[in-house]
Structure 1
Amino acid sequence: MRRRPRVDVHQHVWPASFVDALRARSAPPRLDGWVLHLPGEPPYRVDPADHSVAARTALAVRDGIDLALVSLSSPLGIEELPAEESRPLLDAYHEGALSLPDRFGVWAAAGLAEPDPETLREVLAAGCVGLQLPATALADSAGFDRCAPLLAELERAHKPLFVHPGPAAAPGAPPWWPAMVSYVTQMHAAWFAWHEFGSRRFPALRVLFAMLAGLAPLHADRMAMRGGPGGIPGAGVYVETSSYGREVVAAVTARLGEDRVLLGSERPYARPLVLGGAAGMRLRTDNPARFFAMVPAQIR
């Protein structure tokens, strides 16, 4: 009987076609060589090795990962660009990511200025495991209204949603500020907005929140005290572990249940959590197989 793979659900690799598309732009987000320019942020020098397919394949082997799921870097803000600007970048991302070696799987991305469920249907059929959306797009009722065509297509296709932090420019703030303040706030908003505005509207949709949803699950007691929506977490809601250690992961696992937490590393920006024994098997193998259920075939 074939062994089920060990899965990391959260990595980023910029394929060559996507790098070329960023370099072809004259306005942020753009690359000048390997210097990244984003609105409201200082230039950032990207390490080319971080996006070397050969180097990342070798790193996955060293990490003990059989299948690394890569997604668009949502903090770049590509999803929010006008459609005529986002389409070339999204096409380049999908073209390159879907051509990566078999050790990599792909989360789809989608433009939000003009949500296009037909294009989403095409990239899902081409092999994407589900759709990633920025948390900033799902922070309130209006966000769910705007994204409804995409979420309905996911539900129809029985493919999951991955919620990832979005743009977080913080002029004058220290470099760690977006990751510790902006991203956490975004994930909190998306977590509670899903349970208030999304879960009843899309009851069959499976949802995975990055970075333990910014630890939003640990606020369940406060939510109950304040009369918030009951039933948190709803069925089909999962989180992944990127950037957190054993103690915090254990606390969230105790709140959600051991079957709701998946391994995510956010390579190349962070290292994966290493757990051995049954706990490691659940994070890397059993829970991804449960979450994806029908897709992709190589996870089952």
Structure 2
Amino acid sequence: MRYDCHQHLWPPALVTALRERDALPYLRDWTLYLAGENPYRVDPAAHDVERRRAAEHADRVLVSLSSPLGIEHAPDGAELIDIWHASALGLPDPFHLWAAASVAEPDPAALTRVLREDRVAGLQLPATALGSPDALGHVAPLLEVLERSGKPLLVHPGPAPVEAGELPGWWPALVPYVAQMHRSWMAWHVAGRARHPTLRIAFVALAGLAPLHHERLAARGGPAFTPDPDVYYETSSYHSDAIAAVARVVGPAAVVHGSDRPYAEPLDPIAFHGGYFTANPSRLLQDPSSGTNHT
């Protein structure tokens, strides 16, 4: 089975809910407004379910709530998260989903119910909610529920901060998103694994290339780095150079393919290690339908 572990697809009910909002984030027609980013003109075709389905070559595609929207942090985010779950669970194959959860007011009971759904691969949280040992403590009730479920965590960039001046449209993806991923990986390395010893976790965008800093980490007195068999690195928006560099540090078995479609395109499976698309995601997800022996 070939996987794409990271895509975004907004079901019609979520689009409608975003258009009805007066507080950020919101849509006006197909223009998205966020606190820390320039207004973004969304391509309607990118969220056309049948068109996206027809373009897929993966056997299983995991879609998630777009964490840069800031919904998980919003005081009223729980309602939008409920809409996300109800509408995304109705998407046809090959689409399965990552659950979402409010980090403003964590609700472990609500997450427990959602994780029982077969089409829910695990939980996605924004890196902005995992950026320090204290932050990990705040979301620990969610992580404990997730760990008991046996399903994994996906760490995704969260909302970009508001910055003074005019910045190019690509700035959030290259500066705050990468820094958020780097910071969340460091927090997990120094505190997360000790608190959640059996939780499988995948960091989007190769964790902002954080593993490549292991030598500097050691030189500055940080904890020693040893590859963790339950930590995975998703490839979205990176290509040959970065993927090869991270794989040399963490091992090729830790790399899983994700495209971040519609913002980037899937990798060519002929050009990369086949395990990135098949065996590695299957281990991350502990997917019984893959035919892989996980014992």
TM more than 0.5: yes
2:147 to 146, 155, 162: 155
One-letter code aligned to 1:148: A
User: Using the alignment, how far apart are the partners of 1:231 and 1:203 within structure 2?
Assistant: 16
Please state how far the C-alpha of 1:296 moved relative to its aligned partner.
6.2
1:77 to 70, 73, 76: 70
Please state how far the C-alpha of 1:265 moved relative to its aligned partner.
0.5
1:66-110 CA-to-partner distances (Å, cap 9, x unmatched) read: 11100000000000011xx11221011111111101201100000
Match of 1:30 in 2: 26
User: Using the alignment, how far apart are the partners of 2:283 and 2:196 within structure 1?
Assistant: 19
Please state how far the C-alpha of 1:287 moved relative to its aligned partner.
0.6
Asked whether the 8 Å contact 1:246–1:273 carries over to 2, the reply is no
Please state how far the C-alpha of 1:40 moved relative to its aligned partner.
3.9
1:124 equivalent to 2:115? Answer yes
Match of 2:46 in 1: 50
Going from structure 1 to structure 2, the CA distance change for 1:289 and 1:134 (only over 3 Å counts) comes to: same
1:243 equivalent to 2:237? Answer yes
User: Using the alignment, how far apart are the partners of 2:144 and 2:53 within structure 1?
Assistant: 34
Please state how far the C-alpha of 1:275 moved relative to its aligned partner.
3.5
Percent identity over the alignment?
52
Going from structure 1 to structure 2, the CA distance change for 1:178 and 1:296 (only over 3 Å counts) comes to: farther
Going from structure 1 to structure 2, the CA distance change for 1:298 and 1:31 (only over 3 Å counts) comes to: farther
One-letter code aligned to 1:16: P
1:241-260 CA-to-partner distances (Å, cap 9, x unmatched) read: 10111122111111111100
User: Using the alignment, how far apart are the partners of 1:256 and 1:57 within structure 2?
Assistant: 33
User: Using the alignment, how far apart are the partners of 1:94 and 1:296 within structure 2?
Assistant: 22
Please state how far the C-alpha of 1:138 moved relative to its aligned partner.
0.3
Please state how far the C-alpha of 1:43 moved relative to its aligned partner.
2.1
Instruction: Give the TM-score taking structure 2 as reference length.
Output: 0.94
1:102 equivalent to 2:96? Answer no
1:270 equivalent to 2:264? Answer yes
What pairs with 1:138-217 in structure 2 (closer than 5 Å)?
138-169=130-161, 170-171=163-164, 172-217=166-211
Secondary structure, aligned partner of 1:162: strand
Going from structure 1 to structure 2, the CA distance change for 1:281 and 1:40 (only over 3 Å counts) comes to: closer
1:115 equivalent to 2:106? Answer yes
What pairs with 1:213-224 in structure 2 (closer than 5 Å)?
213-224=207-218
User: Using the alignment, how far apart are the partners of 1:21 and 1:137 within structure 2?
Assistant: 24
User: Using the alignment, how far apart are the partners of 1:135 and 1:285 within structure 2?
Assistant: 25
1:43-72 CA-to-partner distances (Å, cap 9, x unmatched) read: 221111000101111121xxx311110000
Please state how far the C-alpha of 1:234 moved relative to its aligned partner.
2.5
1:260 to 254, 259, 283: 254
User: Using the alignment, how far apart are the partners of 1:211 and 1:75 within structure 2?
Assistant: 14
Give 5+ residue unaligned stretches, structure 1: none
Match of 2:79 in 1: 88
Please state how far the C-alpha of 1:292 moved relative to its aligned partner.
1.4
Please state how far the C-alpha of 1:232 moved relative to its aligned partner.
3.6
One-letter code aligned to 1:177: W
Secondary structure, aligned partner of 2:223: coil
Asked whether the 8 Å contact 1:30–1:37 carries over to 2, the reply is yes
User: Using the alignment, how far apart are the partners of 1:57 and 1:11 within structure 2?
Assistant: 12
Asked whether the 8 Å contact 1:288–1:299 carries over to 2, the reply is no
Going from structure 1 to structure 2, the CA distance change for 1:18 and 1:296 (only over 3 Å counts) comes to: farther
